[in-house]
Amino acid sequence: MSVVTGPGAVAVAKRAVCWLDVFVFAIFVTASLSALSIADDTVTKQRRGLKPVKEHYELIETVPTLQASFTMAQDELKTLRGKLVELRMEARRLAADPASAQLDHAVKLKAAEAMIREYEAEVPRKLREVADAATESFRARHAAELAYDKAVSEFERAVKLRAVEFALAAWAILALATGLACAALRRWLGNGSALHALVPGSVVMLVACIVYVLK
């Protein structure tokens, strides 16, 4: 059995090690990014029940109560305007009645006109109440939305940081395993270096973690 030696055999060995380095780098990066993805899914599921609820912040800002006050003010204004319409129709009917000259019709007409004036004077106050209630409800809802958005942002940031912690722990194990594998391959093939996979792979993982946290 003959053994092939010479420059050609050395060149083949170096070429094999070069491609092996690329292969190990690809596996290392793929495993590292998969660890980040798995960590994200795991932590998200674990903390799903802790996610902020919008209704909680609306209750803190008394949004339901203020919304009910706004609705009530609208209903009262609507009722007042309905009564005004009825009174004006009644006043026109009394004024057009041939018997309007009679005392009882005159009294009824004056009473209707007096109530009309009273209700008309009441309309601006009701309008202010509706406007004030709408403003208070809007401000409370806006404050609740801001507080909720802030809480969700902080929650998501905490989830991401926790996921990164798990991913980096898994990445450290992968880096150790990759280093040991590269060392064994180096002894076996006599060429190649773990740095060819670990250094660029670590850079990719670091960039991926930064992008994941900031997105």
Please give the model's pTM, rounded to 2 decimal places. Answer: 0.71
**Cβ atoms within 10 Å, residue 167:** 25
Element (H or E) spanning 196, and its range? helix 195-214
Q: For residue 171, give every residue at least 6 positions away whose Cβ sits within 8 Å of its Cβ, in sequence order, or none.
A: 32, 35, 205
- HSE-CB of 166 using CA atoms within 13 angstroms: 16
- pLDDT, tens only, 12-23: 444 444 577 788
Contact by Cβ (8 Å): 36, 169: no
Name the amino acid, one letter, at 146: L
Distance CA 55, CA 65 (A): 13
- pLDDT, tens only, 52-90: 999 999 999 999 999 999 999 999 999 999 999 998 898
Q: What are phi and psi of 179, to 5 degrees?
A: -60, -45
- pLDDT, tens only, 15-49: 444 577 788 888 889 999 999 999 999 999 999 88
- pLDDT, tens only, 109-141: 888 888 989 988 999 999 999 999 999 999 999
